[in-house]
Amino acid sequence: MIDLTAARENVSTLSGQKRTPADRNGALAQMPVKCPQIRSICHYAAYQRHDPGGEEAQKSQSIGGGANRVQGLKISDWSEAGEGGLFAVLELESDEWLVLLPMVGRRSFTWFAPEGNELTVKVGTLGTESVEAELPVLAWSCSDSVYTAVKNVWRLALTHPLAEGMGRLREEKTYPEIFEYLGWCSWEQYKGEISSDVLVNAAEKINGSELPIRFFLVDDGYLCYSKEEGEGNQLVALGPDPETFPDGWRPLMEQRSDRGIRWFGLWQNFNGYWGRIARNNRLGEHLNSYLMDVPAGGQMPKPELPDAVAWYEAMLGVAREGGFDFVKVDNEANALHNYQGTANAVKATTSCCQAFERAAAAQVNGVINCMAHGPINPFNNSLSVVTRCSEDYKVNDEWKAKTHLHNSYQNMLWLGPVVWGDHDMFHSSDTFAGRMMAVSKAMSGAPVYLSDAPDDFNTDIIRPLCDNAGRLYRPLAPAVPLPESVTVDPFEDEAPYMVAAPLSNEAAAVVVYNLTEPTCPVEAQVGPGTYRDAVGLLNPERTQCLQEPHKLVIYDWYNGKAHSLEELWQFRLNTFEDRFLLLSPVISGWAFIGRTDKYLSPAGAEVLDISEDVLTLDVPEPCRLTVWREGRTYELETGKGIRRIKAGELE
């Protein structure tokens, strides 16, 4: 038995005796888990209720699956959870938080397998071969702060000897320069119907627009793949289809411009293509020597690391040779099931993940991991620091907008310690949620990329995301649900869904949503405690800034109004809507609200010094700034550089 009451944090393991798989999931062992008294559970698993794909999608749940469909949902006890969960946040009767992270090693992974209202975990491989080695099982951490528990459990997991060297924490990795800037992606507007002419036309219009869009992502639709019966959707060749791209990538790369699109990205499928790699392909004898047949059909890289390295070096080499600066790699989580039924699916998938990370570090300048919501992937992100944290965005679809917003934020409690969470592309012209989507992307701190046809861009929604050069205003850590929303079902409970992110200048951003379905009014409140909780997943050494007992000013961004926040500020949301709020501390009589033409206003300049009489700022570009002084706001036009705002000169 794993006794979670015996220690506030630990990692349990299995001894190194020989273990033989007992079923098609390659289960090697099952262990009961003793939990403290639980008030509520946020359970993370794939294809749960509220999946935007409906009941049919919910039948797709499988052990080790998830792709882009993991949801963190409230359950009252373990009897409501199916087998296959991969993370859990428990709110205890003691008012503490206990976070459970099933472990992944190089040869096995763990998943939740409740029996009635009792939690058990299983350890397995999805393979057929016996394993004789010590195996990691479950990491847990308990704290009075949910964020501390989440950060600690990942630290314990990734530094444990049985997982050490596989992955790294987010703050230990470098964020790519490319993703500091506004981008565009072809998928949601054009789907797979792309060609050289379509993409060149889009790039020309983007370069001719007034918007500072700096990267251009070519999504699915360009590859050569088999359409034959029994071999459908299997990769045939790595380059673009000569029928739709007769001159290869050259015409598109000619659109690169210092004043417009500076970087190009290419979508690639982690498994070759959706149906894997065709046996009858045009890859050549050399590349085929690194591939093997898999029970799922078609081919995948052989399970040893050198074979996987050779495959991914070739795959990413094609992107680099085509002139691409970064890649979006898709369908990663499904690799585990593509290897199911081989000797050890975990070992093979781990080899692929590590090989890809190694090849990407050598050949491109950035990676967006996509459909990577599996147990193996976050444990193997040693270098890449961006992962999609939701299912696909869909334009003009209210229900999918609700689930997309919730899942994007909620998954960051699970993924946030290891990556920045990409909230996916969005249409600025979305009639249901264009502005809400823009705000959520700003709150993510991850890449922000449009998906409208260039003729449809809504500049009023886009401009507040970035500066004149296209550089994004970003939070200091990914936005996550506030503690009161962690174990809320925002669709069924008549309660708001509230998220927050820490900003520069000791400020914080809070978004309050009404995601109820069917929609009904909800009551919400924000107070000084909200500010303290907004530290979220900020690095431990930087959390002190939002813990000081400051007086606060709350700025209602949509209404353009500021108020002193001394107790609770209450309001009502009647429809599918959000309230976007900025919290700034009052120091020596000043509160810096910032560039209120930008969503993350306090990030618009740097506060260098505050005295009773003077506020000193470093302003990156000419703009209008808003400050609070003695109960009122002042808007000031200012140029670039060091600026000193004197209290006696305010008008």
Domain presence at residue 578: yes
Domain presence at residue 175: no
- Residue 393, both tokens: 């965005």
- Residue 517, both tokens: 């379905």
Domain presence at residue 472: no
Angle between helices 398-415 and 434-444 (to 10 degrees): 10
DSSP state of 377: T
Give the three-class secondary structure for 361: helix
For residue 633, give the CATH number of its domain: 2.60.40.1180
What residue type is assigned to position 192 of the chain? G
pLDDT computed for residue 230 by the predictor:
74
Domain presence at residue 174: no
**CA angle 249-250-256, nearest 5°?**
100
Query: 118, 137, 164: which is the final residue of a domain?
Result: 164
Largest pairwise CA distance in the chain: 79
332 plus 461 within the same structural domain: yes
Domain presence at residue 474: no
Domain presence at residue 351: yes
460 plus 329 within the same structural domain: yes
Q: Which domain holds residue 596?
A: 480-649
Query: 409, 439, 465: which is the final residue of a domain?
Result: 465
pLDDT computed for residue 56 by the predictor:
73
Element (H, E) at 217: strand 215-218
- Which residues, other chains included, contact 330 with Cβ-Cβ below 8 Å and sequence gap of 6+? 220, 267, 268, 269, 270, 370, 371
Structural domain tally of the chain?
Answer: 3
pLDDT computed for residue 547 by the predictor:
62
Torsion sign across C-alpha atoms 246, 258, 184, 477: positive
pLDDT computed for residue 549 by the predictor:
64
296 plus 414 within the same structural domain: yes
Beta bridge partners of 292: 300
460 plus 488 within the same structural domain: no
- Which residues, other chains included, contact 497 with Cβ-Cβ below 8 Å and sequence gap of 6+? 405, 406, 409, 481, 485, 488, 490, 512, 513, 514, 515
pLDDT computed for residue 343 by the predictor:
98
- Residue 98, both tokens: 């206990």
The rounded distance, in Å, linking the Cα atoms of 42 and 387 is 21
310 plus 232 within the same structural domain: yes
For residue 362, give the CATH number of its domain: 3.20.20.70
DSSP collapsed to 3 states, 121-180: EEEECCCCCCEECCEEEEEEEEECCHHHHHHHHHHHHHHCCCCCCCCCCHHHCCCCHHHH
Weakly modelled stretches of the chain, pLDDT under 50: none
pLDDT computed for residue 651 by the predictor:
73
pLDDT computed for residue 545 by the predictor:
57
Element (H, E) at 569: strand 569-573
The rounded distance, in Å, linking the Cα atoms of 77 and 40 is 7
Contact predicate 482/548, CB 8 Å: no
- pTM of model > 0.75: yes
293 plus 416 within the same structural domain: yes
Query: Per-residue pLDDT tens for 614-650?
Result: 999 999 999 999 999 999 999 999 999 999 999 988 8
246 plus 140 within the same structural domain: no
pLDDT computed for residue 167 by the predictor:
97
528 plus 611 within the same structural domain: yes
Contact predicate 473/598, CB 8 Å: yes
- Residue 357, both tokens: 């990370």
Domain presence at residue 473: no
The rounded distance, in Å, linking the Cα atoms of 437 and 423 is 9
pLDDT computed for residue 393 by the predictor:
95
Angle between helices 345-363 and 305-321 (to 10 degrees): 40
- Residue 583, both tokens: 């919290």
514 plus 570 within the same structural domain: yes
242 plus 355 within the same structural domain: yes
295 plus 326 within the same structural domain: yes
pLDDT computed for residue 228 by the predictor:
80
Domain presence at residue 221: yes
27 plus 88 within the same structural domain: yes
